[in-house]
């Protein structure tokens, strides 16, 4: 059995003679991808405490609670000054570069005392349940059950081996997809279709590489601002069987354009 403490102690002596606590922030409702995106919110959350839980502590090793007694490594933080205001203790926490390559990848078993969200580092060795592959973005939730930010799409395309279930499912189907441009208040939309080799995966790879997928209006937006695509969100409106003809797919695509008005107020030019 490999423990988290063994990994740490094999890499650094920083925590060896320090006063350290393990912290587990619990929320079973939080998806892995949401955890990656809500880092600032979690950082602020753990700085504010109703009690002096970090009094005399040099470092905290922070985890995010998952199903059962599992916990995902969020980071290691040095505890600084503490102030008290509005009946709350505010701790200065600085993230330190210790085992940074394992952050958001190592999953441990917190143990039977899951109700105890903060524990002394050397009190009970934590068994490592799994180490997620680098570039992993989370479990594939189903073809129409996700919205991908552009940065997530790039991470997905650049790490296909770490996200095999995503690639397998997106490559297996043709479909109608939606791109939402969040750079503007009205949220302009683009409806597109994917058909042929590698299905939706193949089409979205183009967006990942050139930021516009060779769509007329998106090419213009990209020429004006090379970072414009960072505001795009990708989703699938409808998965389609591979035996449909190009004409049949175009008919379904046209229907969605009409429903959403993407030619009048969106990014579709035809």
Residue listed under structure tokens 């102030």:
83
Answer yes or no: is 139 within a domain: no
* Number of folded domains that form the chain: 2
For the CA atoms of 21, 27, 31, 36, the dihedral, rounded to the nearest 10 degrees, stands at: -40
Residues 104 and 32 in one domain: yes
CA-CA distance, 237 to 252, in Å (whole number)? 11
Global pTM reads 0.84
165 and 247 part of one domain: yes
**31 and 116, same structural domain?**
yes
Average pLDDT for residues 74-100, to the nearest whole number?
A: 93
Does 269 map to a domain?
A: no
Express each pLDDT in 212-245 by its tens digit: 999 999 999 999 999 999 999 999 999 998 889 9
Q: Looking at residue 30, what is its pLDDT?
A: 58
Shared domain for 111 and 192, answered yes or no, is: no
Let me know whether 125 and 152 are in one domain.
Answer: no
* Same domain, residue pair 230 and 114: no
Domain shared by 95 and 159, yes or no = no
> Are residues 124 and 182 part of one domain?
no
The domain boundary, picked from 103, 131, 159, lies at 131
Helix (H, G, I), strand (E, B) or coil at 211: coil
DSSP 17-81: TS-EEEEEEE-TT--HHHHHH-HHHHHHHHHEESS-TTTT-SEEEEEEE-STTEEEEEEEEEEEE
| Domain presence at residue 72 | yes
On whether residue 14 sits in a domain, the answer given is yes
129 vs 19, 26, 105, 106, 205, CA distance in Å? 25, 17, 11, 8, 32
Mean pLDDT of all residues in the chain? 92
CB atoms within 10 A of CB 166: 22
Domain end position, chosen among 80, 97, 131 = 131
Cα–Cα dist 40/140, whole Å: 24
- Report the C-alpha gap between 156 and 154 in whole angstroms: 5
Question: β-pairing, 128-131 with 88-95?
Answer: unpaired
Euclidean distance between the first and final Cα of the chain, in Å?
A: 60
Please check whether residue 97 is in contact with residue 11, taking contact to mean a CB–CB distance below 8 angstroms: no
Position 62 in a domain: yes
What is the tens place of the pLDDT at every residue in 193-202?
999 889 999 9
Q: Which CATH number covers residue 158? A: 3.40.1440.10
Confidence (pLDDT) at 183: 95
Same domain as 193, residue 240: yes
The pLDDT value recorded for residue 222 is 97
Tell me, yes or no, whether 140 lies in a domain.
no
Rounded mean pLDDT of 72-97?
Answer: 94
Q: Are residues 84 and 156 in the same domain?
A: no
Same domain, 70 and 172: no
Give the pLDDT score at 29.
53
Residue finishing a domain among 71, 96, 131: 131
The backbone torsions φ and ψ at residue 62, rounded to the nearest 5 degrees and listed phi first, read -100, 135
pLDDT in tens, 120-152: 998 889 999 999 999 999 999 999 999 999 999
Structural domain boundaries enclosing 73: 4-131
Give the C-alpha separation, 137 to 159, whole Å.
9
Which residues 6+ apart lie within 8 Å of 128 measured at CB? Answer: 2, 3, 4, 7, 106, 107, 108, 109
Distances (CA, A) of 153 to 54, 231, 234: 38, 12, 8
pLDDT (mean) for 91-118: 88
17 & 77 share domain: yes
Confidence of residue 40 (pLDDT cuts 50, 70, 90): confident
């Amino acid at each position: 059995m490999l423990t988290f403490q063994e990994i740490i102690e094999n890499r650094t002596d920083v925590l060896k003679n320090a006063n350290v606590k393990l912290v587990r922030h619990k929320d079973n409702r939080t998806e892995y991808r949401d955890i990656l995106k809500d880092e600032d919110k979690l950082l602020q959350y753990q700085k504010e405490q109703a009690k002096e839980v970090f009094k005399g502590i040099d470092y905290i090793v922070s985890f995010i609670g998952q199903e059962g007694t599992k916990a995902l490594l969020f980071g290691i933080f040095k505890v600084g000054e503490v102030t008290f205001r509005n009946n709350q203790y505010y701790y200065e926490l600085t993230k330190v570069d210790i085992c940074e390559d394992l952050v958001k990848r190592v999953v441990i078993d917190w143990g039977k005392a899951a109700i105890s969200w903060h524990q002394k580092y050397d009190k009970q060795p934590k068994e490592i349940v799994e180490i997620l592959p680098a570039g992993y973005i989370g479990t594939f939730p189903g073809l129409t059950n996700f919205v991908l930010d552009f940065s997530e799409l790039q991470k997905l395309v650049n790490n296909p081996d770490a996200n095999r279930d995503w690639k397998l499912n997106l490559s297996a189907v043709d479909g109608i997809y939606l791109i939402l441009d969040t750079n503007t208040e009205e949220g302009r939309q683009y409806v597109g279709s994917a058909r042929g080799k590698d299905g939706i995966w193949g089409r979205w790879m183009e967006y990942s590489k050139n930021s516009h997928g060779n769509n007329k209006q998106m090419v213009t937006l990209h020429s004006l601002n090379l970072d414009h695509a960072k505001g795009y969100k990708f989703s699938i409106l409808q998965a389609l069987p591979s035996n449909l003809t190009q004409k049949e797919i175009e008919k379904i695509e046209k229907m969605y354009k009409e429903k959403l008005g993407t030619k009048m107020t969106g990014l579709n030019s035809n």
